[in-house]
A and B are shown apart, each in its own frame.
Chain A
Amino acid sequence: MSTIGNASIHSVDHHGGHGHHHESFWTKYVFSQDHKMIAKQFLVTGIVMAVIAMLLSILFRIQLAWPDKEFPILELFLGKWAEGGRIHPEFFLALVTIHGTIMVFFVLTAGLSGTFANLLIPYQLGARDMASPFMNMLSYWFFFAACVVMIASFFVESGPASAGWTIYPPLSAVPKAISGSAAGMTLWLISMTLFIVSQVLGGTNYISTVLNMRTKGMDLWKMPLTIWALFLTAIVGLLSFPVLVSAVVLLVFDRSFGTSFYLSDLVVQGQILPNEGGSPILFQHLFWFLGHPEVYIVLMPALGLTSEVISTNSRKPIFGYHAMVYSLIGITVLSFIVWGHHMFVTGMNPFLGGVFMITTLIIAVPSAVKVFNYLATLWRGNIRFTPAMLFAIGMVSFFISGGLTGIFLGNSALDINLHDTYFVVAHFHLVMGSASIFGMLCGVYHWFPKMFGRMMNEKLGYLHFWVTFIGAYLVFFPMHFMGIDGVPRRYYSFTEFPFMDKWISVNEFVTWAAIIAALGQLAFIWNFFSSIWFGKRATQNPWSSNTLEWTTPVEHFHGNWPGEIPTVYRWPYDYSKPGHHEDFIPQTVPFSETMSSNLPHDFEGNQEAERIQREWELANKPQPEKEAE
């Protein structure tokens, strides 16, 4: 937090002009201040973290499917955490905790926003770089440090944090409570603090760049939806992450200094703890004030990326551009007043529960607006099923099927039954897990040519899509039924209980689906890394797209455009405009060059322009009356 003042001042004298940098290996690839390189750094780090978190999930899926079976190979790799070839119960808790933490924060927040905000905000707005490239570099390196600390927690004696990704006290606040609450929890807190610094540094930069550094002609209503989504995401992050800092600071004091913000009346291992008067519910309020907006921080960039990709590949303007923006704004505002729906069963006043229920259900309105607009954009489009397009459509599918169950969970009465069951797991893995990761993969396939100057292999892309898409449904769909039956989440071996033992076969099925889907990711990893060096060379505008990033040369250099920054004349969705000879008109093409396709509303009430257009039409177009004669 406190580095902001420093950093913004610090970078002043480092960045005068562009174009005359003497770049060494270190300044070009490591401590780069170029937004494109930073985007790639975020992406590669995000992919590595995603693979790690996915492997963790496979480990705990193995335990759930075969609770009685021994896998000596696990002991070989995990040592005492898998003594006798079976995952240790405490390690199981660590696995689910770190899986959640990495996926939510490191992959879908930093990996997604970090990659695409850095890549697209300057590119699509016509800026040479971010407002403060130095802060941007710091943002990546804080993120990198956070990753290292989080992974390092696997190598401490007492193991990584185990209290769940939500780290509720008192479990997380009492180091003696479980082994994961000892050194592992401290490392978790350090890692998250670094992570928050990274997010705040990055987020302020994104907002500032969007508001200050747009090129000539790029007013807010000419911005692509990607930028709107990333911009609003950054605002949500800026307002919510500092709240998590407060929550974490108080937790640190409780853990290490003996204060009683969250702790009271505890007996741990036969000993009465001295802490008195604290309230664990206070933590939940502070945590979820970040935690719920965080869900939209994860989701909104995916909504933005897919809007762009679906419009481009349907060769149609996005349906309801303004409605799309207003629904994003609606989601942004609502995201701050729904946090109580995570706490319906904490003894909350039922009236307050009712209020949170209503605000939660209202989110269905902007979400539905977005879904219908996606479908209307696809409707009768000239669809090109590129891998990016398939992932975008997959995102819409998950957004619908996962969003639907949100209506059940948002209901404070039904939530008494469904709370902390696999129903919740199924819900959020579809609506924010799968939907967001599909949005991210869609972005990777679509903007890969811009990032690396080469194309990814399409066939491998299709294979990757179908395995992942079907795999994700096979993994998460059965969990709804387990949840309705009352199977609780995070349990080590719930099938030991007689009334839940029937679920063992489903568990096995889900684990096999997860393993196959995980293997499917090899197609992506191979495709991604080999295409960087051996992919087919990309043309400047491979998707025939309208936005500004495709007007830059394929070769990268600091400053993006060799000459002057282009001027923008029109919105980004002029696809298949009647009367034009091509099915796309880039934003940089002035209306004077497209007289045959201009429409009255293009001129936004400029009467002089309308008059010129009318005169041109009189002179050039055959009159409809004459045709009728």
Chain B
Amino acid sequence: MIAMARYTQDKEELTQQKAKKFNLWLGMIGMFMMFAALSSGFIVYTAGGADRGIKTLLPDAFIYSTVLIVVSSVTMQMAYAAAKRTAFGRQKLLLLVTIALGIGFFAMQVHAWGVLSDRGVVFVNSNASQSFIYVFTGMHLAHIIAGLAVLARALVGRIRNIPQVNNVFRMDLAALFWHFLGILWIYIYVFLLLNQ
């Protein structure tokens, strides 16, 4: 009888975990809609006149940051695999590497802003297509901050030695979200490249 009750409760908890992961998927759909809106805003605006458009080459820093975030996705996946294999030391190390790469990505994007403004492609601009570059990258960076917080939370969980079920679940969600942020950046970069 007790075993039965225990089983039902576990099942209810499993359903809840599934639902929470689903929440994250929905959240990502919402975030995607926001960037889709910005993209369509960019297209509508840029199509409005010949004097509009990006009209500059995107800085090389964007290529480097792309490499950084792709590598960080790989390390994140490895950290997740380590967590599942209960290789906790390795999980912690790889998480730290992922966080470091994430911060590197952040710094590289800010550096790219510097390069752009040195060329005179500034945020406050009568050609708002150029302002859009900052909006896209800035909004993405805001999400990167959230992503770093999620990674940090997974790391804290590891250090505090929370139960393995929860550890794996946190890592699962963190990896999913971090991959999403990488893909989102690649989308933004390709979108801007196609319009430069």
* B8, B41, B49 pick with most chain A CB within 10 angstroms: B41
Question: Does A612 touch B at the CB level, under 8 Å?
Answer: no
Question: Does A624 touch B at the CB level, under 8 Å?
Answer: no
Within 8 Å by CB of A10, from B40, B142, B153, lies B153
Q: Evaluate contact between B15 and A213: CB separation under 8 angstroms.
A: yes
- A5–B174 alpha-carbon span in the complex (Å): 8
CB distance from B85 to the nearest CB of A (A): 21
Q: Evaluate contact between B23 and A131: CB separation under 8 angstroms.
A: yes
- A73–B97 alpha-carbon span in the complex (Å): 67
Chain B residues whose CB sits within 8 angstroms of the CB of A60 once the complex forms: none
| Listed stretches A44-52, A162-170, A235-243; interface member | A235-243
| Listed stretches A278-286, A304-312, A495-503; interface member | A278-286
Question: Does B3 touch A at the CB level, under 8 Å?
Answer: no
- A132–B12 alpha-carbon span in the complex (Å): 13
Q: Evaluate contact between A8 and B23: CB separation under 8 angstroms.
A: yes
Given A131-B20, A132-B23, A253-B135, check contact A279 B30 (CB 8 Å): no
- A241–B55 alpha-carbon span in the complex (Å): 31
Chain B residues whose CB sits within 8 angstroms of the CB of A15 once the complex forms: 16
Chain B residues whose CB sits within 8 angstroms of the CB of A4 once the complex forms: 23-24, 27, 30-31
- A383–B152 alpha-carbon span in the complex (Å): 59
Within 8 Å by CB of A250, from B31, B123, B126, B135, lies B135
| Listed stretches B61-69, B71-79, B101-109, B143-151; interface member | B143-151
CB distance from B166 to the nearest CB of A (A): 5
Chain A residues whose CB sits within 8 angstroms of the CB of B9 once the complex forms: 17
Q: Evaluate contact between B34 and A245: CB separation under 8 angstroms.
A: yes
Within 8 Å by CB of A1, from B13, B17, B30, B44, lies B30
Q: Evaluate contact between B24 and A277: CB separation under 8 angstroms.
A: no
Chain B residues whose CB sits within 8 angstroms of the CB of A207 once the complex forms: 22, 26
One digit per residue, 1 when the CB lies within 8 angstroms of any chain A CB and 0 when it does not, for chain B 12-49 equals: 11011111111110110111011111101100110011
Q: Evaluate contact between A128 and B131: CB separation under 8 angstroms.
A: no
Chain B residues whose CB sits within 8 angstroms of the CB of A279 once the complex forms: 44-45, 48
- A564–B11 alpha-carbon span in the complex (Å): 12
Chain B residues whose CB sits within 8 angstroms of the CB of A8 once the complex forms: 20-21, 23-24, 27, 173
Given A239-B29, A259-B131, check contact A12 B23 (CB 8 Å): no
Chain B residues whose CB sits within 8 angstroms of the CB of A12 once the complex forms: 17, 20, 166, 169-170
Q: Evaluate contact between B19 and A277: CB separation under 8 angstroms.
A: no
Chain B residues whose CB sits within 8 angstroms of the CB of A17 once the complex forms: 9, 13
Q: Evaluate contact between A261 and B45: CB separation under 8 angstroms.
A: yes
Given A8-B173, A12-B169, check contact A242 B34 (CB 8 Å): yes
Q: Evaluate contact between B124 and A259: CB separation under 8 angstroms.
A: yes
CB distance from A237 to the nearest CB of B (A): 9
Q: Evaluate contact between A5 and B24: CB separation under 8 angstroms.
A: yes
Question: Does A212 touch B at the CB level, under 8 Å?
Answer: yes
Chain A, 255-279, CB within 8 A of any chain B CB: 257-261, 275-279
CB closest chain-B residue, reference A276 = B126
- A496–B174 alpha-carbon span in the complex (Å): 63
State the main secondary structure of chain B at its contact with A: helix
Q: Evaluate contact between A243 and B131: CB separation under 8 angstroms.
A: no
Question: Does A391 touch B at the CB level, under 8 Å?
Answer: no
CB closest chain-B residue, reference A245 = B34
Question: Does B111 touch A at the CB level, under 8 Å?
Answer: no
- A276–B166 alpha-carbon span in the complex (Å): 53
Within 8 Å by CB of B44, from A10, A257, A258, A285, lies A285
CB closest chain-B residue, reference A15 = B16
Chain B residues whose CB sits within 8 angstroms of the CB of A318 once the complex forms: none
CB distance from A17 to the nearest CB of B (A): 5
Q: Evaluate contact between A277 and B128: CB separation under 8 angstroms.
A: yes
Question: Does A547 touch B at the CB level, under 8 Å?
Answer: no
Question: Does A585 touch B at the CB level, under 8 Å?
Answer: no
Question: Does A608 touch B at the CB level, under 8 Å?
Answer: no
- A51–B189 alpha-carbon span in the complex (Å): 48
- Size class of B's contact patch? 35 or more
Chain B, 115-171, CB within 8 A of any chain A CB: 123-128, 131, 135, 139, 142-143, 145-147, 149-150, 153-154, 162, 166, 169-170
- A275–B128 alpha-carbon span in the complex (Å): 10
Q: Evaluate contact between B31 and A1: CB separation under 8 angstroms.
A: yes
Given A246-B41, A278-B128, A289-B37, check contact A564 B31 (CB 8 Å): no
Question: Does B185 touch A at the CB level, under 8 Å?
Answer: no
Chain A residues whose CB sits within 8 angstroms of the CB of B48 once the complex forms: 279
* B30, B123, B135 pick with most chain A CB within 10 angstroms: B30
Chain A residues whose CB sits within 8 angstroms of the CB of B145 once the complex forms: 2
Question: Does B177 touch A at the CB level, under 8 Å?
Answer: yes
Chain B residues whose CB sits within 8 angstroms of the CB of A16 once the complex forms: 13
Chain B residues whose CB sits within 8 angstroms of the CB of A147 once the complex forms: none
Q: Evaluate contact between B34 and A243: CB separation under 8 angstroms.
A: yes
Q: Evaluate contact between A282 and B15: CB separation under 8 angstroms.
A: no
Q: Evaluate contact between A253 and B13: CB separation under 8 angstroms.
A: no
Q: Evaluate contact between B16 and A5: CB separation under 8 angstroms.
A: no
Q: Evaluate contact between B37 and A243: CB separation under 8 angstroms.
A: yes
- A471–B23 alpha-carbon span in the complex (Å): 43
- A210–B44 alpha-carbon span in the complex (Å): 36
- A83–B107 alpha-carbon span in the complex (Å): 55
One digit per residue, 1 when the CB lies within 8 angstroms of any chain B CB and 0 when it does not, for chain A 281-302 equals: 0100110010000000000000
Chain A, 127-163, CB within 8 A of any chain B CB: 128, 131-132, 135
Chain B residues whose CB sits within 8 angstroms of the CB of A213 once the complex forms: 15-16, 19
CB distance from B196 to the nearest CB of A (A): 18
Given A16-B13, A204-B27, A282-B44, check contact A11 B150 (CB 8 Å): no
Q: Evaluate contact between A246 and B27: CB separation under 8 angstroms.
A: no
Known pairs A8-B173, A249-B135 / 14 extra A-B pairs, C-beta < 8 Å: A1-B27, A2-B146, A4-B23, A5-B149, A6-B153, A8-B27, A131-B23, A132-B19, A213-B15, A242-B31, A242-B34, A253-B123, A282-B44, A285-B40
Between A and B, 12 residue pairs with Cβ closer than 8 Å are A8-B27, A10-B153, A12-B170, A16-B13, A135-B23, A200-B27, A208-B22, A238-B26, A246-B37, A257-B124, A277-B126, A282-B41
